[in-house]
Amino acid sequence: MTAITDYSKWDHIDISDDESDCHPNIEKETWFRLKRRQREEKEQEQNARKAELEKGIKAGLARVAELEQRSAAVKAEGGDVDGEDPVALTVEAEELQKAVEAKRKEVESIERNKTWNWENMCHVTEERTIINKSADSEAKDTTMRSALPPKLAAALGEKPRAVTAPGPETTTQEVHSYSDFVQEHEDVMEKYSELHSMEKTRDFLRQHGDILFADHCQSYLLLSCLEDEMNGKHERMKLVARQSQLLSSITELAVSLRRPPQDVVPALFLRLDEAEHSQRFRDGVNDFVAKVQNRAVEKRKEMEAEEAEGLDHETIELTKEERMGPGGLDPLEVFPTLPEKMQIAFDQKDTPMLQEALLELTDEERKYHMKRVVDSGLWVPGAGGSTRVEDEENDNDEEEEEEAAGQAVGEVTGEAPGTKVPASPPSPTGVGSSEEA
């Protein structure tokens, strides 16, 4: 009759990320770490007890063999040898044998009641990776990927970079802008960023990999981390950072295996089941969290500095009526019509350059431009503003306008109105105000 296999040991498997017994007031990641620590401590105690029992069994069996040998020697001699009683030796051997059997039963009980989990249910006997070289050498990826947006790179303190996705030849996709991508897929990315369970994350990645492995998705998660940290949502930032690092790890593994990211999702999660890879991943997440925290502090300082600078340099916009000069002209309309050299001179408040610009013009051009400069208020002729046009009734008096323009030319060039301009005019004292003139 064929023996029936006992599968009862698989009835109670410990699931490390089971949320059913988690108290609502306890953070899930903390609960998982606590359960894992308790499980490891229990396993260590059981292993230590098992090792102690096996050592006792080994010593007991050796002692029993020794007693049986001595008892046989005494019986062969036909009586007591060196004062040893064969009956006493036999009794001692039987007691030791009973103690050994009791220890064996305890070891069997430990093995029978052992809690099974993903770490001790099975072990790797052989591991290898097979890559089809011929297929990879011919495959070319035509998928277009966009680089990290400059504003996003500046916000994160990184340089923009372009990422080429590995894998076989695929259909060329349209490159969307970051804003269009977020508007279209924000619900999927938000749902992914809120997943706590690794199993649910794995299934979600396999279901929505075409969206989550896009460059814009990783950019969105990076900005979400920075925004959450700046808004004081530290726990959410750590969760989003973990989800972001999962995408980065899958992308890196895909590059090394030259496969599409969707194909390596199961392989990555199998690696994370191993203690060494899991610890390395957690270290990477912690480093990333530290970078986000430092960047949030720097970004907050930059925003405060920009805000303070904006308050110090508040701009007041004037209406056209308020900008009108004494002659009824708008300086913003007059300035672009001036010769280029005169514009530069007024912009830099450089009187010698203004003199040179006027010397390059004819008499009519000098009077024309200086009249417009005076009427717009760009230049105020006369000391103390005595020749400034103040009476609006005299604005249409051509003689007074020509006289004011001629006086302005004389002030700039250093000659009286109506005189010939010398080849090397004397240096005036200023530009733009009656006091400087």
Per-residue pLDDT of 372-397, as tens digits, reads 888 888 887 753 333 333 333 344 44
Q: What is the pLDDT of residue 396?
A: 44
Using the CB atoms, write b or e for 143-157: b if 16+ within 10 Å: beebebbeebbebbe
Q: What is the pLDDT of residue 313?
A: 54
Domain ranges of the chain: 48-116, 144-167+174-311, 322-413
**68 Cβ contact list (under 8 Å, min separation 6):** 89, 93
Q: Which helix (H) or strand (E) holds 52?
A: helix 28-77
Task: Tell the burial category of 376 from Cβ atoms under 10 Å away from its Cβ (0-12, 13-18, 19+).
Answer: buried
Q: What single letter denotes the amino acid at residue 325? A: G
Q: What is the pLDDT of residue 56?
A: 92
Q: What would be the CATH architecture of the domain defined by 144-167+174-311? A: Up-down Bundle (1.20)
| 436 neighbors 429 (Cβ within 8 angstroms) | yes
How far apart are the C-alpha atoms of 83 and 74, rounded to whole Å? 10
134 phi/psi in degrees, rounded to 5? -65, -40
| 373 neighbors 409 (Cβ within 8 angstroms) | no
| 223 neighbors 149 (Cβ within 8 angstroms) | no
Half-sphere exposure of 227 (CA within 13 A, CB side): 8
DSSP 194: T
Has residue 2 got a pLDDT over 60?
no
How far apart are the C-alpha atoms of 212 and 244, rounded to whole Å? 10
pLDDT band (50, 70, 90) for residue 54: very high
Q: What is the pLDDT of residue 413?
A: 56
**240 Cβ contact list (under 8 Å, min separation 6):** 193, 221, 224, 225, 228
Q: Pinpoint the alpha helices (H) of 263-362.
A: 265-272, 275-312, 320-323, 331-334, 340-348, 351-359
Pick from 43, 41, 45, 16: nearest CA to 29: 16
| 240 neighbors 221 (Cβ within 8 angstroms) | yes
Has residue 305 got a pLDDT over 50?
yes
DSSP 262: G
Q: What is the pLDDT of residue 134?
A: 52
Pick from 132, 217, 203, 205: nearest CA to 168: 132
Q: What is the pLDDT of residue 393?
A: 39
Q: What single letter denotes the amino acid at residue 297? A: V
Write out pLDDT tens, residues 100-159: 999 999 999 888 888 777 677 777 777 777 776 654 444 444 444 444 445 444 554 554
Mean pLDDT computed over 164-186? 60
Write out pLDDT tens, residues 207-230: 888 888 888 888 888 888 888 888
Q: State the residue for tokens 């970078």.
A: 291
Has residue 368 got a pLDDT over 60?
yes
Q: What is the pLDDT of residue 357?
A: 85
> Helix or strand or coil: residue 426?
coil
Write out pLDDT tens, residues 252-262: 888 888 888 88
DSSP 378: S
Q: What is the pLDDT of residue 383?
A: 38
How far apart are the C-alpha atoms of 73 and 341, rounded to whole Å? 127
Which two tokens mark 420?
A: 């010939």
Range from 49-53, 90-94, 414-418 that averages highest in pLDDT: 49-53
pLDDT band (50, 70, 90) for residue 332: confident
Which two tokens mark 318?
A: 């004037």
Q: What is the pLDDT of residue 343?
A: 87
Mean pLDDT computed over 89-96? 87
What DSSP string describes 205-232?
HHHSHHHHTSHHHHHHHHHHHHHHHHTT
β-pair partners for 13: 116
Half-sphere exposure of 50 (CA within 13 A, CB side): 14
Mean pLDDT computed over 81-95? 79
pLDDT band (50, 70, 90) for residue 26: confident
